Structure 1
């Protein structure tokens, strides 16, 4: 099955979805893309929503070096928060905007195949390997199923859970997963949405936004500390796609009307575009 339309894969963090203006802006930006003839696949996490629900259940979020350790009890909450609350609310937001959103998760039709992550040594967590519990690593994306959904002109809204061949569910990282989906589909555009919405030389200076960087410039910005924290692994992993058929990558906010379309067209008003 061929997909003639250009394809955009969009990752949305749970922190972005806490803000109503961001949710509404996201929906309108996706609508603008589809009206310009794009197919869209949307993946989301739900870290803050999971934390809140854990606390309601008397559980304490457990993170090592910023990475969540997921017990069996935690996984139950992750499923409720991500595949339940966040997925349903985001899907309904898109439907409200007149979009044919199709809410699902990684176990739906084995969209995201995963295996349990083995204990690993993590930077910043000492020399001993860490067992992350019910956390999985992506092994494969069901490209044929995704292409079939896109051929039906629906927008898959995917909660990033993973499933093993034996049907075991895992909590998986949304940033890593969206890269795998973009790679599998050979997407024309990968959008990483954030609250900040771009790379800035100075976060307090809106005029310091960096409109476009190539791979070498992005690496230099990491070395300089301009790109820092959780944005580093996002950018580093996304850059691996530039040699694998993915057209371009952008960090952008969905808050501003027309931002996604502007990034897709390369006009430079919003975000930071990473090109080969």
Structure 2
């Protein structure tokens, strides 16, 4: 498909009348996005290959953003492009290709400033989203640790002052950001990947699995020649297909951030169990080696090594 055909495809997609809001939302969304998975991958690949030609890419990115603003199932469709866009953006940034950089930064800023709102895209409610996460203490038995010992300790120990069995952590609200800076760059990209990970249940696993792994490989391997390991063969315990991928060693090195890598790792783990095990294992291996090089303790701790 050429650029004109892809624009026609996005125009046709924008006319969808499917709305989310029922008990079958997940099934409906996955069926719809899976139907167009092949075209979506062609579109993402087209933008990646032609990102330097702003006249070709900018109209397509603008149409994807317009789909995002429509909300519902089209928001989910647009989120599928974020891993691929992040990989392409960081590569363009490392080569200082300002026109291409601007195209992706406009897209990222627009989506970020909608995602931090409680009501989502085009919401009249401007309250910012705050998430609360309960982290159980390892001092007490729980279903997260050892269910067999759940009643091993007397209840009185839980009642002691300062001995709360769990801690609640608040995530957010995130600040409104008007422009990309060296300080805000990774905050924006990390928050966008967090939105993708929060919507994985709706998205086409074929699309997201492949592109989150390819983006991770590009980000972690660019400018490096890491030694090959037998990690993939040890995990899969059988002969597996090894797709020939692009050599990133001669590309400029890309800056990384622990928070962004951890969000990418979440997507890679999803890919590991949803149709792209070979790519996922190679992405985990490359991230591990990059994390060791950068001494990123948080990333190394979460990996499965």
Q: TM-score, normalised by structure 1?
A: 0.31
Q: Which has the higher contact order (CA 8 A, sep 6+)?
A: 1
Structure whose CA Rg is larger = 2
Q: TM-score, normalised by structure 2?
A: 0.29
| Larger fraction in strand | 1
